[in-house]
Amino acid sequence: MTIRSHADLKNLREDGISLLRPERPRICVGMATCGLVAGAGAVFEAIREAGKTYGMDIVLVSTGCIGCCQQEPVVDVYMPGLGRVLYARMTSEDGQKLITALSVSEFPGEHALAVIPEAGSVAPKGMGILSRLPLISELPFYAKQHKIILRNSGLINPESIGEYAAVGGYQGLSRALWGLSPREVIDEITRSGLRGLGGGGFPTGKKWEVCSRAAGTARYIICNADEGNPGAYMDRTILESDPYAVIEGMTIGGYAIGASQGYVYVRNEYPLAIKRIRHAIEQSEALGLLGEDILGSGFSFSIDVVRGAGAFVCGEETALIASMEGGLGEPRARPPYPAIKGLWGQPTIINNVKTLASVSAIVAQGADWYAGIGTDGNAETVVFSLVGKIANTGLVEAPLGLTLNEMIHEIGGGGLDGRRVKAVQTGGPAGGCIPADLFHLPIDYSSLSQAASIMRSGGMVVMDEETCMVDVARYFLSFTIEESCGKCTPCREGARHMVEILTRIIEGKAGPGDLAMLEEVALWVKGASLCGLGQTAPNPVLSTLRYFRDEYDAHVNEKRCPSGVCRALIRLAIVPERCTGCGLCLRECPVGAVSGEKKQPHSIDAALCTRCRTCYEICPEGAVEIVR
Amino acid sequence: MATLTINGTSVSIPQGALLLRAVEEAGITLPTLCHHDALAPYGACRLCLVMIIAPYRALVASCTYPVEEGLVVQTHAPEAVQARRLTLEALMSRCPRSDVISKMAEREGVTASRFGMPSSGNADELCVLCGLCVRVCRDLIGAAAIEFIGRGSERRVGAPFNMHSDACIGCGACAEVCPTGAIRMEDRGNQRILQAWNTCITLSACPECGRFFAPEPTRFLKDMFPEIKACWNVCPECRRQKTSRQWLNAGQKTD
């Protein structure tokens, strides 16, 4: 079948709707990487086996990630006429129990998280257990979210093009190819206010405009899926959960700038994402949604997948191009910008996965709809990966303008185990740490940059009172220098010297001049480096020096780590009054530093102790203390 | 032509030329290690940083920045001077024995590096990773015998797997272009040794003058340019004399 008319598209949609709303129960297991590592594969198998045992006619589907990664494995159960319930933290046994209950047309109560509203179900929330459950939009984690990029994630089968069409897919592409000129598409994107969501924040419409006017014999559009920030995994999730939205966005972009070839540059560490995007490309080609004469419009466009070989710096656009051309993955100086001179010297657009997923929604629903979201001058929704010492981890999509407080305390549910949140690091390893007393700030480009941090890819690493900010700064900087290509002097030599100074501070060997030197070197690396990696690498150091100077001073002047993290500056001791002499720490200590008679208070030999904190973490009485 | 102001002096230079060239036109010498007029702009050493103060403020590497009409540039703005000094301090710490670096540093007012020796450092290191050798070998000679290996502070230059390079033609352009003398080329008897690349090229004696030269790696030239067939086995110096004599004779005949 090739899709060439409204009627063809309608047929595809109807096929998809019959898959999404079958006449029998439909069970979706969240099987993006986050679900799989939590054991979704076993849950899926258990449900399939149980279904066979009961002879039940069910549709069992593997979907992507619905966002609440804390709750994985997640199972979404639809019963025709009864409603739809989301189950969380499922095990194989729970999967069997689920089938047992469904076989008598009942939703089990155990592990039920929320109701997903369904048109045509009996009551808004349904009956029985459903009436007692919150709607998914009432869960604190979801209440303030607004999903555009992740609109289909976890809700459709990422390997079914029909389901994508059923939830509004290809409305944007058909509108563009059948009704808009390339210039009108660019105008639409410009008016929507969409900015690059990979971190740069450059207006997407303007970039497309520059590229479409640049001279060249060919044009290319590249989807940058070389995501590599520690703790950020939104691009992977989108490719695993909704690859068609990205392909549709790329095709629209290709039409707008006049490209006939697109590439998805995805890191090889994402095997499932690669598998799903490749499958989606094949399916699109089979239906004539990619290839020659798409939708009968005369426009031809194909997409190939290029796998990145694991260099973080290849997420930088000029390094990405160098790597695609077969050279070393190293950045070059801009200008010329890739939009003018990119891949093989031709005008090239490089857009992030999230940007392209937004494009398909914007062209479908119109620029005005998109421009109406978010605060003034910040029209887009951004995906954040909320990780670290926080109660609810997961992927959060929200309009810009939400405050950090709302993000961390409402959506995120506050600190882990009730501990006080001290800071949040935004924007990946190159971002800054924002202290809790600035959490009233709205999350947008200007507020974050005023607070010495950046938006970048939307990573949010939450830190509490047990996090040492000096240690954090060294951690992120060590990551960046590992990933520095080594081309320019400040990033290669300067960042290494910064890590050496930070190591001296952490080991209690720093002298009085070290902090001034650290700051001086950090400003040099920031100002003099060749590419974005070096220019932003010192941000964690500069922002912690600005907001947590007291912690640095304590390390340098008092040789004390206030958070009790830096091994050289702490001591572990057993409080005799609390110790019951159970001997657990004595058995578990890897270096034999604990001694003591049974049922008598034990003690730690400070000379042998390596401060690994094993005793601190296992003591059932909380008798081990960190002496700071 | 673009007209710009450098340290208060007006300079006119073709549109799109590099800012470094404009700075030189203005009579100012900036330190640089990775720039070479015969090679494409690279921007790795970050020594030629200057401050653009209008129409916007930016610290840029003048060797990669194309000039624009109306730019106002200060080569000795505090930010630029500070950046150059720190870069030199870092390079001094990397290559403590390099006279080239220490002289360059002295001219910028740096006499000692506050960075200690790098913990895993080699005190005899002379390579500053400017990449001139890699680029001249690849982009001008066309041999691509050497490349960068490793990344970040592990970065260095070498032949594949640090083994003898079959691609090396022994031309010595890498040694010639190296600003710090980190690459040495030595002819010992009929052997040309490029120690930095673990590469040894066998030389032949020129039948005309007896000097050693390296014809084997360039044997392919014979097929590419049939006109040199007669003289490809003589050394480059004799070849030059022979061919110019041929041309001279040919010219006399046509006259």
Are A464 and A472 contacting, i.e. CB atoms less than 8 angstroms apart? no
Q: CB–CB of A485 and B49 under 8 A?
A: no
Residues of chain B contacting residue A313, judged by C-beta atoms under 8 Å apart: 151
| Residue A141 clears pLDDT 70, i.e. is over it | yes
Cis peptide before A73 (omega within 30 of 0): yes
B212 and B195 share one domain = no
At A228 the pLDDT is: 83
Asked whether residue A7 is assigned to any structural domain, the reply reads: no
Q: CB–CB of A486 and B150 under 8 A?
A: yes
B8 and B62 share one domain = yes
At B254 the pLDDT is: 58
| Residue A527 clears pLDDT 60, i.e. is over it | yes
Question: pLDDT tens across A514-526, in order?
Answer: 999 999 999 999 9
Q: CB–CB of B155 and A530 under 8 A?
A: no
Mean pLDDT of A306-322: 90
Taking CA–CA distances from A535, the nearest residue in chain B reads B59
| Residue A400 clears pLDDT 80, i.e. is over it | yes
Nearest-by-Cβ selection for A333 from B64, B79, B83: B64
Q: What is the CA radius of gyration of chain B?
A: 23
End-to-end CA distance of chain A: 70
Asked whether residue A286 is assigned to any structural domain, the reply reads: yes
B35 and B60 share one domain = yes
| Residues 6+ away with beta carbon under 8 Å from B224 | none
Cα of A1 vs its chain's centroid, Å: 36
| Residue B253 clears pLDDT 70, i.e. is over it | no
For every residue of A85-137, DSSP letters joined together read EEE-S--HHHHHHHHHHHTTT----TTEEEEPP-TTSSSSS-STHHHHSPBGG
Q: CB–CB of A487 and B119 under 8 A?
A: no
The rounded mean pLDDT for chain B is 89
A492 touches chain B (CB under 8 A): yes
A489 touches chain B (CB under 8 A): yes
A325 touches chain B (CB under 8 A): no
- For residue B231, what are the domain limits? 207-245
Nearest-by-Cβ selection for B45 from A335, A489, A500: A489
A355 and A275 share one domain = yes
Asked whether residue B87 is assigned to any structural domain, the reply reads: no
A339 and A252 share one domain = yes
Distances (CA, A) of A607 to A214, A315, A572, A588, A612: 68, 46, 11, 17, 13
Long-range contacts of B107-114 (CB under 8 A, 24+ apart): B107/B31, B108/B31, B108/B81, B108/B84, B109/B85, B110/B85, B113/B88, B113/B89, B114/A517, B114/B89
Q: CB–CB of B86 and A485 under 8 A?
A: no
Give the model's confidence band at A406: pLDDT under 50 very low, under 70 low, under 90 confident, else very high: very high
Mean pLDDT of A142-161: 92
**Which one of A313, A485, A487 would you mutate to disrupt binding with B, by most B Cβ within 10 Å of its Cβ?**
A487
A219 and A354 share one domain = yes
Give the up-direction half-sphere exposure of residue B62: CA atoms within 13 A in the CB hemisphere: 28
Residues of chain B contacting residue A524, judged by C-beta atoms under 8 Å apart: 82-83, 86-87
Long-range contacts of A371-376 (CB under 8 A, 24+ apart): A371/A191, A371/A192, A371/A193, A373/A146, A373/A148, A373/A399, A374/A399, A374/A400, A374/A401, A375/A399, A375/A400, A375/A401, A375/A442, A375/A444
Q: Which of A21-25, A85-89, A488-492, B120-124 has the lowest mean pLDDT?
A: B120-124
For every residue of A351-372, DSSP letters joined together read EEHHHHHHHHHHHHH-HHHHHT
Q: Among A540, A535, A541, A563, which residue's Cα sits nearest to residue A551?
A: A563
Question: pLDDT tens across A86-126, in order?
Answer: 999 999 999 999 999 888 888 888 899 998 887 654 454 45
Determine if residue B122 is left, alpha or beta; phi over 0 gives left, psi from -120 to 50 gives alpha, anything else beta. beta
A488 touches chain B (CB under 8 A): yes
At A379 the pLDDT is: 67
Asked whether residue B97 is assigned to any structural domain, the reply reads: no
Asked whether residue A376 is assigned to any structural domain, the reply reads: no
Q: CB–CB of B46 and A489 under 8 A?
A: yes
Flag whether the pTM goes above 0.80.
Answer: yes
B138 and B181 share one domain = yes
| Residue B255 clears pLDDT 60, i.e. is over it | no
At B119 the pLDDT is: 56
Q: How far is B146 from chain A (nearest CA, A)?
A: 13
Residues of chain B contacting residue A520, judged by C-beta atoms under 8 Å apart: 86
Mean pLDDT of A536-552: 93
Q: How far is A531 from chain B (nearest CA, A)?
A: 10
Q: CB–CB of B153 and A481 under 8 A?
A: yes
Asked whether residue A124 is assigned to any structural domain, the reply reads: yes
Asked whether residue B124 is assigned to any structural domain, the reply reads: no
Q: Among A304, A311, A251, which residue's Cα sits nearest to residue A277?
A: A304
Rounded CA separation B255/B248 (Å) = 11
Asked whether residue A544 is assigned to any structural domain, the reply reads: yes
Residue ending a domain, choose from B187, B202, B217 = B202
| Residue A581 clears pLDDT 70, i.e. is over it | yes
Coil, strand or helix: which one is A613?
A: coil
- What is the DSSP secondary structure assignment for residue A203, as one 8-state letter? B
CATH number, position A392:
3.10.20.600
- Total domains in chain A come to 5
At B120 the pLDDT is: 58
Distances (CA, A) of A84 to A28, A116, A160, A590: 11, 5, 20, 50
Asked whether residue A152 is assigned to any structural domain, the reply reads: no
Give the model's confidence band at A482: pLDDT under 50 very low, under 70 low, under 90 confident, else very high: confident
Give the model's confidence band at B224: pLDDT under 50 very low, under 70 low, under 90 confident, else very high: confident
CATH number, position A520:
1.20.1440.230
Rounded CA separation A436/A56 (Å) = 52
Asked whether residue B108 is assigned to any structural domain, the reply reads: no
Q: How far is B171 from chain A (nearest CA, A)?
A: 23
Asked whether residue A491 is assigned to any structural domain, the reply reads: yes
Asked whether residue A110 is assigned to any structural domain, the reply reads: yes
Q: Among A214, A193, A216, A215, which residue's Cα sits nearest to residue A205?
A: A193
Residue ending a domain, choose from B51, B82, B113 = B82
Q: CB–CB of A333 and B83 under 8 A?
A: no
Nearest-by-Cβ selection for A493 from B47, B90, B151: B90
A280 touches chain B (CB under 8 A): no
- What's the residue count for chain B? 255
Q: How far is A482 from chain B (nearest CA, A)?
A: 6
Q: CB–CB of A492 and B45 under 8 A?
A: no
Task: Tell me phi and psi for residue B212, to 5 degrees.
Answer: -80, 140
- Rounded percentage of chain A residues whose pLDDT exceeds 90: 68
- For residue A245, what are the domain limits? 161-369
Coil, strand or helix: which one is A577?
A: coil
Q: How far is B131 from chain A (nearest CA, A)?
A: 8
| Residue B183 clears pLDDT 60, i.e. is over it | yes
At position A59, the amino acid (one-letter code) is V
Residues of chain B contacting residue A486, judged by C-beta atoms under 8 Å apart: 129, 148, 150-155
A460 and A405 share one domain = yes
Residues of chain A contacting residue B93, judged by C-beta atoms under 8 Å apart: 493, 497
A546 touches chain B (CB under 8 A): no
At A118 the pLDDT is: 75
Question: pLDDT tens across A590-614, in order?
Answer: 999 999 998 899 999 989 999 998 9
A70 and A118 share one domain = yes
Give the model's confidence band at A374: pLDDT under 50 very low, under 70 low, under 90 confident, else very high: low
Residues of chain B contacting residue A529, judged by C-beta atoms under 8 Å apart: 46
Rounded CA separation A231/B16 (Å) = 42
Sequence-ordered alpha helix ranges (H) in A532-581: 532-536, 539-547, 549-557
Question: pLDDT tens across B99-118, in order?
Answer: 999 999 999 999 999 987 76
Q: CB–CB of A328 and B147 under 8 A?
A: yes
B174 and B217 share one domain = no
A225 and A336 share one domain = yes
- Total domains in chain B come to 3
B78 and B44 share one domain = yes
Question: pLDDT tens across B18-77, in order?
Answer: 999 999 999 999 999 999 999 999 999 999 999 999 899 999 999 999 999 999 999 999
Rounded CA separation A517/A403 (Å) = 34
Q: CB–CB of A530 and B43 under 8 A?
A: yes
Question: pLDDT tens across A222-247, in order?
Answer: 999 998 888 788 999 999 999 999 99
Determine if residue A118 is left, alpha or beta; phi over 0 gives left, psi from -120 to 50 gives alpha, anything else beta. beta
A92 and A236 share one domain = no
Give the model's confidence band at A152: pLDDT under 50 very low, under 70 low, under 90 confident, else very high: very high
A194 and A315 share one domain = yes
| Residue A184 clears pLDDT 70, i.e. is over it | yes
Task: Judge if ipTM > 0.90.
Answer: no
Q: How far is A496 from chain B (nearest CA, A)?
A: 7
Output the 3-class SS for A265-289.
EEECCCHHHHHHHHHHHHHHHHCCC
Q: Among B67, B76, B99, B90, which residue's Cα sits nearest to residue B181?
A: B99
Nearest-by-Cβ selection for A496 from B44, B128, B153: B153
Q: How many CB atoms lie within 10 A of CB B225?
A: 10
Taking CA–CA distances from A493, the nearest residue in chain B reads B90
- What's the residue count for chain A? 628
Number of A–B residue contacts, CB under 8 Å:
96
CATH number, position B49:
3.10.20.740
- Rounded percentage of chain A residues whose pLDDT exceeds 70: 97
Nearest-by-Cβ selection for A482 from B65, B91, B152: B152
A332 and A204 share one domain = yes
- What is the DSSP secondary structure assignment for residue A377, as one 8-state letter? T
A82 and A171 share one domain = no
